[in-house]
C-alpha cells in the first residue's frame, strides 16, 4: 500500500512509532481485541437486584470487564501517544493566540478575531496607541487639577458667555455684572484694581479688557454685581476665559463651578481654583480613571510581549468596564449642575453624546467578550468621540487634540484600515480562485447534462429527507450511570497525570470509559479525546465504507503519497482491510476549530474521514441509499453540494456530497466510540480527476485569506 503514513497507524502496546514500519504490524482493533481475550459485549450499567442493591460478585466481574476495556483502549491508542508528546488540547489553547498561518488581514473573518488578533501587528499597534491616548488624557487632566494650585499668569483677558443660575435648579438668575477682576489665594484676597466693563451687553455676551502692564498671577475670577444678590449663598457659574501673557499667545479655558458671595453687601461673586475646582470632583475621578486604565493597558502590553495573550482579554474588558462606569456616572453629575433649557441645545447634545458613549462602551465590551461586531463597535465609539469634540468646541471653544486623535481618529482609522484590507483580501482571494471555480463550474454543468434527471431528483429528495431526519450535530459522549463511582475508581487504580503515559491513560479512563453519574449527552470539546476516539474508530469506519463502496461500484481513496498527490484503488474482492488512517492533521484541526468554531472542538466532525469516488451520479445515489438503509450507522448531517441552490464559492467551486455519520456497531460500542461523528465524502470522478497539488495549494491560500 503506497504512501501509508506511520504516524496514523495503530500499533500494539509496547511498539514505538519510531520503529521500522511494516504493513504487517497494522491490524484491526477487533483483532487486537481477540488477541487480548477481551470481552466483546459492550459494557452496561452495574448489575443490581430487584431492590436496587449491587451484587458483590457481579460488580467485581463488571469491574474486571471494564478494566479489560480500559486496557484495550490504552493499547489501541498508542498511536495517539506516538503522535505527539504535547497535548493537542494545549496546542489548541496556545494556537488561539498564535494563528501564524492566518494572515493579519483575515483575522476578522475568523470566529475569534480579538483573541487571534492579539498576535498580529495591527492589533498590537492599536492597543499600544490606545495606551498612549489614555496616558496623555491622564497627564492633561492631572495638569488641569494641579495648575490651579500653582496659579496662572495673564496680562490681557477676554470673558465670554457668562451664565449664572441657582444651585441644583434650571432657573436662570438675571445678574447684572458691573465689572470683573482676577484673584489669587485660597480665600477672598483680591487685587485692588478692578476694571469696569467696556462695551458689554446681552447682545454680544462678551467683554474684553487689558488691564495690566505685566503678567499677573491668578487662580480665580471675581464678578462685581450692579445690584446685591438675594438668595442662596452659592451660585453656579459658567464662562469662557481667554487670556494671554504677551498679547500674542492666548490660552482658552472653560470655567464652570460654584461661586461664593464673599462680601457683606452680597455684591461680589468669587470663582476660585480655575477650570478644575476643588468642589468639582469629577475631574479627580476622571484622572483616577485614566491612570487606572493606563496601568491596565500597560499590563496588557507586557503580557503581549511575553506571549501570554490569554490574560489580555480579561484586562481589556476590565479597562473598558471602568471607562463605561465613569462615563455613565458622570452624566447625572453634569446634568445636576448644568443649565438646561430649550435655548441650550449644545449642552443637551453634549450630555446625550456622553450617555451614548457609555452605552457604546458597553456594547464594545459585549462585542469583545463574544468576539462579534468588534469593528462596528469600535467605529461607532470613534464617531461618537468625534462628535463630542465638535460639541465641546462649540460649547467651550476648546479643542482637545488628544481626544480627537486618540478617541476619534484612531479607532475610526483602525476600522477603516481593516475594512479596506479585508475588501482587498476578499478581492484577491476571488481572483486567486477564479480560474479554478470556472473549471469546477464547467465540470458541474457537464455532470448535470450527462446525468439522468431522475438521479438528480432522487439525490435531492433523499438529501432533503436525511436533512429533516437529522438533528444538531456535535461531538458528544454519554456518561454511564455508575452509582458506586468512588469504589469503581479505586478498583481500577487510575494512574496519575504526572506523565505523558499517565495523562493518556487518565484521558481514556475519564472520557472514553465515560465514568459519571448521569445518562445525559455532553459535548466532547477536548481535542485529545477526539483524536483518541478517531484513532480507534478509523479501522471500523474503513471496513464499513469498504462494504458500501463494493455494493455501489465505488472507488476508495487510498491515502496520500509522499509527494502530496492522492491515489485511488478499486476495492479488492478479497475484502482485505485497508487500514491507512486518513485522519485530519492536528494543525489543520486546530486552525479550523479556532477560525470557524470559536475554540469549540465539539463542532469538528471530520477528524476521522473517508471518501468514495463514483463514475456516475447513479452510483453515488445508490451508495447514499445504501448508507441511509444501513441500521449500523446513524446519519447526523448531510451537505448536498450538487444542489443548484448550493453556493459553491464556499468550497472554491468544488462539489461533493458530505455525510456525517456515527457508527453503531458492537465493536464501536465496545471501544466507547459509538457517538464519535466521522465524515464520508461521496465524490464524482469528474471532480476528482481535475484535482491537483497546485490547485490544492491555491485553495489553502484562498482559505487562509478568508480566515477559514
Burial class (CB in 10 A: 0-12, 13-18, 19+), 100: exposed
pLDDT at 584: 82
Mean pLDDT of 549-563: 65
pLDDT at 359: 92
- What's the chain's length in residues? 708
pLDDT at 696 over 50: yes
**What percent of the chain is predicted at pLDDT more than 90?**
7
pLDDT at 297: 93
Mean pLDDT of 319-347: 73
Q: Does 390 or 49 have the greater pLDDT score?
A: 390
Q: By the 8 A CB rule, do 117 and 123 touch?
A: yes
Alpha helix (H) residue ranges in 451-574:
453-469, 485-492, 500-507, 527-552
**Digit-coded pLDDT (tens) for 394-427:** 765 566 677 788 888 999 999 898 888 888 888 8
Across 71-85, 193-207, 681-695, the highest mean pLDDT is recorded for 681-695
Q: Does 552 or 108 have the greater pLDDT score?
A: 552
pLDDT at 67: 54
pLDDT at 496 over 60: no
**Digit-coded pLDDT (tens) for 143-177:** 766 666 667 777 777 777 777 766 545 566 667 77
pLDDT at 233: 60
Interior CA angle at 377 toward 371 and 382, to 5°? Answer: 140
Mean pLDDT of 472-486: 60
pLDDT at 183: 75
User: What's the DSSP call for residue 23?
Assistant: G
Cell of 640: 448536498
pLDDT at 319: 93
pLDDT at 478: 65
pLDDT at 25: 38
pLDDT at 287 over 90: no
**Digit-coded pLDDT (tens) for 672-694:** 788 888 999 998 888 888 887 78
Of all helices (H) and strands (E), which one includes residue 41?
A: none
Q: By the 8 A CB rule, do 624 and 656 touch?
A: no
pLDDT at 302 over 90: yes
User: What's the DSSP call for residue 190?
Assistant: B
pLDDT at 41: 37
**Digit-coded pLDDT (tens) for 614-646:** 888 888 989 999 998 888 998 888 888 888 888
pLDDT at 573: 33
Q: By the 8 A CB rule, do 10 and 535 touch?
A: yes
Q: Name every residue whose Cβ is closer than 8 Å to that of residue 199 and which is 6 or more positions away in sequence.
A: 207
Encode 417-447 in three state secondary structure.
HHHHHHHHHHHHHHHHHHHHHHHHHHHHHHH
pLDDT at 324: 93
Q: Confidence band (pLDDT; 50, 70, 90) for 485?
A: very low
Selection from 68, 89, 81, 93 nearest residue 532 by Cα:
81
Q: Does 558 or 436 have the greater pLDDT score?
A: 436
Give the pairing of strands 156-166 and 216-218. unpaired
Q: For the ranges 12-26, 57-71, 320-334, 468-482, which has the lowest average pLDDT?
A: 12-26
Q: For the ranges 106-120, 443-457, 606-620, which has the lowest average pLDDT?
A: 106-120
Q: Does 605 or 212 have the greater pLDDT score?
A: 605
Dihedral over alpha carbons 653, 654, 656, 661 (to 10 degrees) = -100
pLDDT at 84: 43
pLDDT at 548 over 70: yes
Q: Confidence band (pLDDT; 50, 70, 90) for 91?
A: low
Selection from 240, 232, 242, 218 nearest residue 269 by Cα:
232
Q: For the ranges 56-70, 445-459, 589-603, which has the lowest average pLDDT?
A: 56-70
pLDDT at 445 over 70: yes
Residue ranges per domain, the chain?
Answer: 6-95+451-705, 105-141+282-420, 146-272
pLDDT at 576: 32
CB atoms closer than 10 angstroms to residue 525? 20
Amino acid at each position: 500500500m503506497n504512501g501509508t503514513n506511520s504516524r496514523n497507524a495503530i500499533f500494539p502496546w509496547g511498539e514505538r512509532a519510531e520503529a521500522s514500519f511494516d504493513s504487517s504490524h497494522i491490524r484491526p482493533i477487533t483483532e487486537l481485541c481477540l488477541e487480548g481475550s477481551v470481552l466483546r459485549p459492550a459494557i452496561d450499567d452495574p448489575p443490581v437486584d430487584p431492590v436496587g442493591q449491587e451484587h458483590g460478585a457481579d460488580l467485581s466481574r463488571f469491574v474486571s470487564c471494564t478494566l479489560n476495556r480500559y486496557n484495550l483502549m490504552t493499547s489501541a491508542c498508542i498511536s495517539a501517544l506516538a503522535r505527539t508528546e504535547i497535548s493537542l488540547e494545549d496546542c489548541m489553547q496556545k494556537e488561539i493566540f498564535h494563528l501564524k498561518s492566518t494572515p493579519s488581514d483575515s483575522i476578522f473573518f475568523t470566529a475569534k478575531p480579538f483573541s487571534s488578533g492579539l498576535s498580529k501587528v495591527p492589533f498590537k499597534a492599536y492597543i499600544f496607541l490606545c495606551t498612549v491616548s489614555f496616558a496623555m488624557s491622564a497627564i492633561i487632566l492631572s495638569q488641569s487639577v494641579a495648575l490651579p494650585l500653582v496659579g496662572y499668569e495673564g496680562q490681557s483677558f477676554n470673558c465670554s458667555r457668562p451664565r449664572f443660575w441657582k444651585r441644583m435648579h434650571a432657573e436662570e438668575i438675571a445678574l447684572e455684572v458691573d465689572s470683573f477682576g482676577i484673584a489669587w489665594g485660597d480665600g477672598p484676597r483680591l487685587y485692588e484694581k478692578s476694571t469696569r466693563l467696556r462695551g458689554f451687553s446681552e447682545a454680544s455676551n462678551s467683554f474684553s479688557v487689558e488691564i495690566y502692564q505685566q503678567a499677573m498671577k491668578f487662580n480665580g475670577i471675581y464678578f462685581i454685581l450692579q445690584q446685591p444678590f438675594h438668595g442662596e449663598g452659592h451660585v453656579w457659574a459658567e464662562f469662557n476665559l481667554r487670556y494671554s501673557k504677551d498679547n500674542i499667545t492666548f490660552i482658552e479655558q472653560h470655567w464652570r463651578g460654584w461661586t461664593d458671595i464673599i462680601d457683606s453687601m452680597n455684591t461680589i461673586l468669587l470663582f476660585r481654583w480655575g477650570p478644575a475646582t476643588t468642589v468639582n470632583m469629577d475631574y479627580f475621578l476622571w484622572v483616577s480613571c485614566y491612570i487606572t486604565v493606563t496601568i491596565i493597558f500597560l499590563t496588557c502590553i507586557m503580557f503581549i510581549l511575553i506571549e501570554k495573550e490569554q490574560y489580555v482579554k480579561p484586562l481589556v474588558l476590565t479597562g473598558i468596564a471602568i471607562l463605561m462606569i465613569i462615563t455613565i456616572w458622570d452624566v447625572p453629575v453634569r446634568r445636576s449642575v448644568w443649565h438646561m433649557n430649550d435655548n441650550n441645545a449644545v449642552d443637551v447634545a453634549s450630555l446625550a453624546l456622553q450617555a451614548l458613549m457609555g452605552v457604546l462602551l458597553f456594547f464594545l465590551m459585549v462585542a469583545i467578550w463574544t468576539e462579534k461586531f468588534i469593528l462596528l463597535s469600535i467605529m461607532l465609539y470613534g464617531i461618537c468621540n468625534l462628535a463630542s469634540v465638535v460639541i465641546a468646541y462649540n460649547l467651550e471653544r476648546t479643542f482637545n487634540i488628544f481626544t480627537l486623535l486618540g478617541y476619534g481618529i484612531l479607532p475610526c482609522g483602525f476600522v477603516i484600515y481593516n475594512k479596506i484590507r479585508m475588501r482587498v483580501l476578499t478581492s484577491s482571494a476571488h481572483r486567486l480562485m477564479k480560474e479554478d471555480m470556472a473549471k469546477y463550474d464547467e465540470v458541474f454543468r457537464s455532470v448535470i447534462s450527462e446525468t439522468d434527471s431522475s438521479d438528480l431528483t432522487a439525490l435531492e429528495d433523499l438529501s432533503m429527507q436525511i436533512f429533516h431526519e437529522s438533528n444538531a450535530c456535535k461531538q458528544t459522549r454519554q456518561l454511564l450511570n455508575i452509582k458506586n463511582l468512588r469504589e469503581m475508581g479505586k478498583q481500577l487504580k487510575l494512574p496519575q497525570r504526572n506523565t505523558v503515559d499517565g495523562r493518556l491513560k487518565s484521558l481514556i479512563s475519564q472520557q472514553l470509559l465515560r465514568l459519571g453519574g448521569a445518562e445525559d449527552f455532553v459535548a466532547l470539546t477536548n481535542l485529545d479525546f477526539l483524536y483518541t476516539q478517531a484513532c480507534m474508530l478509523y479501522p471500523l469506519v474503513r471496513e464499513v465504507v469498504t462494504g458500501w463502496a463494493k455494493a455501489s461500484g465505488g472507488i476508495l481513496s487510498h491515502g496520500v503519497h509522499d509527494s502530496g498527490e492522492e491515489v485511488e484503488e478499486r476495492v479488492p474482492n478479497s475484502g482485505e482491510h485497508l487500514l491507512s488512517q486518513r485522519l485530519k492533521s492536528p494543525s489543520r484541526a486546530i486552525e479550523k476549530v479556532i477560525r470557524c468554531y470559536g475554540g469549540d472542538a465539539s463542532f469538528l466532525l471530520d477528524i476521522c474521514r473517508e471518501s468514495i469516488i463514483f463514475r456516475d451520479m447513479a452510483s453515488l445515489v445508490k451508495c447514499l441509499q445504501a448508507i441511509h438503509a444501513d441500521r449500523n450507522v446513524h446519519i447526523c448531517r448531510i451537505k448536498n453540494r450538487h444542489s443548484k441552490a448550493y453556493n459553491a464559492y464556499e468550497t472554491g467551486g468544488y462539489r461533493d456530497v458530505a455525510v456525517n455519520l456515527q457508527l453503531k456497531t458492537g465493536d464501536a460500542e465496545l471501544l466507547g466510540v459509538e457517538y464519535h461523528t466521522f465524515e464520508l465524502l461521496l465524490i464524482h470522478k469528474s471532480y476528482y480527476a481535475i484535482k491537483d497539488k497546485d490547485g490544492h495549494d491555491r485553495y489553502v491560500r484562498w482559505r487562509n485569506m478568508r480566515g477559514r
